[in-house]
Amino acid sequence: MKMKMIQKLSAVAAVAVAATVGALLSTASVQAAEHEPEMEHIDWSFNGPFGTFDRSQLRRGYKVYKEVCSTCHSMNYVHFRNLGETGGPEFSAPEVKALAAGYQVQDGPDQAGDMFERPGEGKDTFPAPYANEEAAAASLGAAPPDLSLIAKAREGGPDYIHALLTSYTEAPAGMKMPAGGHYNPMFVAGSGVIAMPPPLADGQVDYEDGTANTLDQMSKDVSAFLMWTAEPKLEQRHRLGFQVLIYLLALAGILFFATRKVWSDQH
C-alpha cells in the first residue's frame, strides 16, 4: 500500500519535471515551425529560450536603419531613450543625448500658438520621414510600413526581413513589371512585385567595429535591430522563463523527497 502511494506520488513529481522540460522544448520547436519553408533560418543570438541580443549587432543595425531605412520608414514607437535601456543596444547616456540631438523634432505650441522645431531629446520618438501615409505612397508608389513592430507583424520575423532584403533579383522572363515595381520573390503579399527599391548593397554603410559590411551582414544587423524594437523586453522574458524553470524543478524535487519522507515514517 505504502509503496504504491510512493510510486504514485513519485510519478507525479516525474510528470512535473517532464512537463517543465517539455514546455521548454516546445517553445523552441514552435519558433522553428513558424517560418516559411524556403526562407533561410538564421542562427540568431536571441533565438531559443536563453537567447540574448548581440549589443554590437544592435548598434550596427541601428546605424543601418538610421542611414538607409529611415529615409522612407518611420519608427513611431521607439523613443531615443530606449536606445540606452538595458536589453537593447545600450548606448551610454551621452551617446543617446547626442544621437537624439541630431534630429529636429516638432514641439509646441509656444505662447504665440505656433509650433516650432527643436533638437530631439530622450523622451522623443523618431521623427517620421513623411507627414502621413498618403504623402509617402504618393512619392514611393506604396506606403512603407512603420518598422517599430514589423518583426512581429510578419511570419518569420527577422528571418523574413533578412530574406526580403537579400532576395532582389531579375524578374522572370515574360513577367510584366508595373512601373516602379521591383522583383522580389520573398514579397508574397505582392506576388513578388514590391514598391521598395533594393535598399542595401555591399559596402553601403560604414561599420566602425571592423565587421564586414556585406549586403548579407547589414541585412542581418538591421533585422536583429528590428527584432529588438518589436520586442525590447525579450531578454527579461527569457530570464523570467529560466527562473520559472528553476523554480518548477526545485518544487518537483521538494515534492519528490517530501513524499518519500512522509510515507517512509508510516508503518
Residue 249 phi/psi, 5° resolution? Answer: -65, -45
Least distance from ligand HEC to the Cβ atom of residue 188, Å: 8
Question: C-alpha cell of 202?
Answer: 555591399
Q: Does the footprint of ligand HEC cover residue 128 (CB under 6 A)?
A: no
> Which residue among 58, 163, 196, 252 contacts ligand HEC (CB under 6 A)?
196
Q: How far is the CB of 167 from ligand HEC (least distance, A)?
A: 11
Site for ligand HEC in 238-267 (CB under 6 A): none
> Is residue 230 a contact residue for ligand HEC (CB under 6 A)?
no
150 binds ligand HEC (CB under 6 A): yes
214-243 CB burial, b ≥16 within 10 A, e <16? ebbbbbbbbbbbbbbbbbbebbeebeeeee
Q: Closest by alpha carbon to 50, among 235, 197, 246? A: 235
Per-residue binding letters, 72-91, with ligand HEC (x by CB under 6 A): xx------------------
Sign of CA dihedral 102, 108, 111, 112: positive
Choose, by CB under 6 A, the member of 6, 101, 142, 248 that binds ligand HEC.
142
User: Is 163 an interacting residue with respect to ligand HEC (CB under 6 A)?
Assistant: no
Q: Give the C-alpha separation, 188 to 177, whole Å.
A: 15
* Cell numbers representing residue 237 in the block: 522574458
Q: How many angstroms separate the CA atoms of 191 and 208, rounded?
A: 38
Q: Give yes or no for residue 100 binding ligand HEC (CB under 6 A).
A: no
Q: Which of 1, 30, 131, 189 lies at the binding interface for ligand HEC (CB under 6 A)?
A: 189
Is 199 one of the binding residues for ligand HEC (CB under 6 A)?
yes
Task: Give the total of residues touching ligand HEC (CB under 6 A).
Answer: 25
Q: Give the other-Cβ count within 10 Å of 110's Cβ.
A: 9
Which listed residue (69, 100, 224, 230) binds ligand HEC by CB under 6 A? Answer: 69
Place of cell 529636429: 104
Single-letter code of the amino acid located at 87: G
By C-beta, is 126 or 187 nearer to ligand HEC?
187
Q: Which three three-digit cell numbers place residue 232?
A: 525590447
**Smallest separation, CB 233 to ligand HEC (Å):** 21
Rule CB under 6 A: say whether 200 interacts with ligand HEC.
yes
Instruction: Map grid coordinates 542595401 to a residue.
Output: 200
Nearest distance, CB of residue 183 and ligand HEC, angstroms: 12
Should residue 197 be labelled a site residue for ligand HEC when binding is judged by CB under 6 A?
yes
Cis peptide before 109 (omega within 30 of 0): yes
Instruction: Name the minimum Å distance from CB 117 to ligand HEC.
Output: 23
Distance CA 138, CA 183 (A): 20
Point out which residues bind ligand HEC (CB under 6 A). Answer: 64, 68-69, 71-73, 140, 142, 144-145, 150, 154, 161, 164-165, 187, 189-190, 194-197, 199-200, 222
